[in-house]
Structure 1
């Protein structure tokens, strides 16, 4: 259903503004710019750091940025108009899998150790617990909700869920206005380093090799600039392959530490980005963030898009009266640009997997 032509051809647009949020999994974008992978595909990339996912959404829709490092669920939220403006969106590829976590405050971590289960630990607070995520329909909200529910805590009734940009979460945890948060690294490492909290679960424990950030744009961009879109996917596949090499994880950590990227000390980025550590509660690090893995990371499976739609219904964000579950396949096929991705991957010699991919309940 997506718009694509057989080969790159002449690029319709050569200078692209790409948004990102200060997270370790923005590594492929930073590598693509620093090493100028786009040049061999006719592209010049300009990275535009954004303060929040809401800013990414607003600038995408306003045309101030062309594409973005984005939460998978942010794209579907915009497509459906859940809690904000609606527009036709496109996922060009998956940028990474795994690499997120849930951290709770140090007092709550001690209560969890004493009580032995989350529900009892939350009861010791004597008030409604407050947990933060990064966007109402985003991946972090859904990982948090899924994890809470598995521990008998209803995420819509038993806690207060608030939206905070990732770089501000540790300050809120330290001030005592948060009891926990779900986000990407390096903010969990920062929380532990400052004694504000402890990482209690990583998202790869909730759903091993789950999709996380994607390369997103409006579908109008794909319609107007199909050759450019393919060239961008090829550029980012090259960057993802480079970042995924173990010997490059330390190198990219130094670039991420710079003020115009994450502005966080390298020693708080590298251990979890390289997969050496998972936090003080882990004797052995969990699955690390993956960026390429022979291309298996990057294919935008339609089945994974359907999973997000099912979760929106589960938590009352999307009602059957608005969008029928029978429409989910068609919606996901419109958003996830599988044909364009396959063409770009083939031009880059990257194999595309079969379409079938299990969701969290089948994993």
Structure 2
């Protein structure tokens, strides 16, 4: 056995959580292609239904690290909810990756990109319940983007629209059943409804807020204190995987990996809709070259500016107090990112 193999055999497990979304690609790729092992890491993946599960398992110590929405880092690290614990973000896993999907019962000719929604709801809404949209979590970028899109089109009060929260994989079936009228979620769960003919997309997140940070690598404070070298190696391995996921020539292999039941379980056709260059919105086709951004200049560094986008968005919804930049840099750890960059085999 090689020295690295012996070290890996003696290495404690790292419990790494993820949610079945297209942007779990760096985690799936690092696992399937042996990148974690190359760094001497014994990573065990835990597939979670949604972000509430990730938050709870990070708090109770059932996960050492996780793919996460950025808001959970602040909710846990700053105590915005009843659960509080030390966490750190050493890596941004991707930018963009989300879209808004509306029920096919809402006609594109009447709604447009959203500009017709207000008049439709005030003049033509017939259901005996409020117009209902879903997002993935109260502290998610999806909630921010959905709120911004609604406000942009004149729907800013709870009287105009009800926003509920659902795990990503459940949204297409709730849309099909008529329980909700639309949602904002990451791929492939927009394409699932679009290609099934039950939904269409008026907007994608790269259009709503170009360059916005999306998923992060979230590491527990305990894991970082006790196993700092492994925390840095984990970030380095995932940085290598992010670089691979951005390569055009790797798309087919990445899609095949994501289609595995261990990851999204979605069909390759559905995954390809946002990952292979063109996005079928249900009413036309647009370029998807910036739909998912896994790597590029300054993409992966967890800067205070990226943290500030999330907090400013959550504050605009009215669910966060003011915080200081010092508080942000305590959680968004550029020092750990730079250490991972030096450790990365792709450096």
* Structure-2-length-normalised TM-score: 0.90
- Work out whether residues 233 and 344 of structure 1, in 8 Å CA contact, stay in contact via their aligned partners in 2: yes
Alignment match, 1:180: 182
Alignment match, 1:224: 226
2:42 is aligned with 1:44: yes
CA distance in 2 between partners of 1:115 and 1:288 (Å): 19
CA distance in 2 between partners of 1:201 and 1:114 (Å): 7
CA distance in 1 between partners of 2:216 and 2:84 (Å): 18
Alignment match, 2:292: 289
2:117 is aligned with 1:112: no
The root-mean-square deviation of aligned C-alpha atoms, in Å, is 2.2
CA distance in 1 between partners of 2:114 and 2:37 (Å): 56
Q: 1:115 to 1:121 in 2, by over 3 A?
A: farther
1:264-298, Cα deviation, whole Å (9 max, x unpaired):
111110131123224233433242201112x5321
Deviation at 1:66, TM superposition (A): 0.9
Deviation at 1:212, TM superposition (A): 0.3
- Work out whether residues 173 and 196 of structure 1, in 8 Å CA contact, stay in contact via their aligned partners in 2: yes
For 1:300, what is the secondary structure of its paired residue?
coil
1:128 counterpart (130, 137, 141): 130
Alignment match, 1:70: 68
Q: 1:116 to 1:62 in 2, by over 3 A?
A: closer
2:334 is aligned with 1:331: no
- Work out whether residues 274 and 288 of structure 1, in 8 Å CA contact, stay in contact via their aligned partners in 2: no
1:117-141, Cα deviation, whole Å (9 max, x unpaired):
2211233224521110011111111
Alignment match, 2:248: 246
* Structure-1-length-normalised TM-score: 0.86
- Work out whether residues 13 and 228 of structure 1, in 8 Å CA contact, stay in contact via their aligned partners in 2: no
- Work out whether residues 204 and 291 of structure 2, in 8 Å CA contact, stay in contact via their aligned partners in 1: no
CA distance in 2 between partners of 1:336 and 1:316 (Å): 22
2:206 is aligned with 1:204: yes
- Work out whether residues 108 and 122 of structure 1, in 8 Å CA contact, stay in contact via their aligned partners in 2: no
Q: 1:156 to 1:350 in 2, by over 3 A?
A: farther
For 2:47, what is the secondary structure of its paired residue?
strand
Which consecutive unaligned segments of at least 5 residues does structure 2 have?
Answer: 1-6
2:98 is aligned with 1:95: no
Matches within 5 A, 1:309-348: 309-319=311-321, 325=322, 327-348=323-344
CA distance in 2 between partners of 1:277 and 1:309 (Å): 29
Alignment match, 2:78: 80
Alignment match, 1:60: 58
Q: 1:77 to 1:205 in 2, by over 3 A?
A: same
Count of residues in Structure 1 that have an aligned counterpart in Structure 2: 335
Alignment match, 1:25: 23
Deviation at 1:302, TM superposition (A): 0.7
- Work out whether residues 145 and 155 of structure 1, in 8 Å CA contact, stay in contact via their aligned partners in 2: no
Deviation at 1:88, TM superposition (A): 2.2
Alignment match, 1:170: 172
2:310 counterpart (305, 308, 332): 308
Q: Which deviates further from its counterpart, 246-255 or 74-83?
A: 74-83
Q: 1:115 to 1:343 in 2, by over 3 A?
A: closer
1:102-152, Cα deviation, whole Å (9 max, x unpaired):
001112244414995221123322452111001111111111111111112
Alignment match, 1:139: 141
Which consecutive unaligned segments of at least 5 residues does structure 1 have?
Answer: 1-9, 320-324, 352-363
- Work out whether residues 59 and 65 of structure 1, in 8 Å CA contact, stay in contact via their aligned partners in 2: yes
Deviation at 1:13, TM superposition (A): 5.5
- Work out whether residues 66 and 221 of structure 1, in 8 Å CA contact, stay in contact via their aligned partners in 2: yes
- Work out whether residues 115 and 121 of structure 1, in 8 Å CA contact, stay in contact via their aligned partners in 2: no
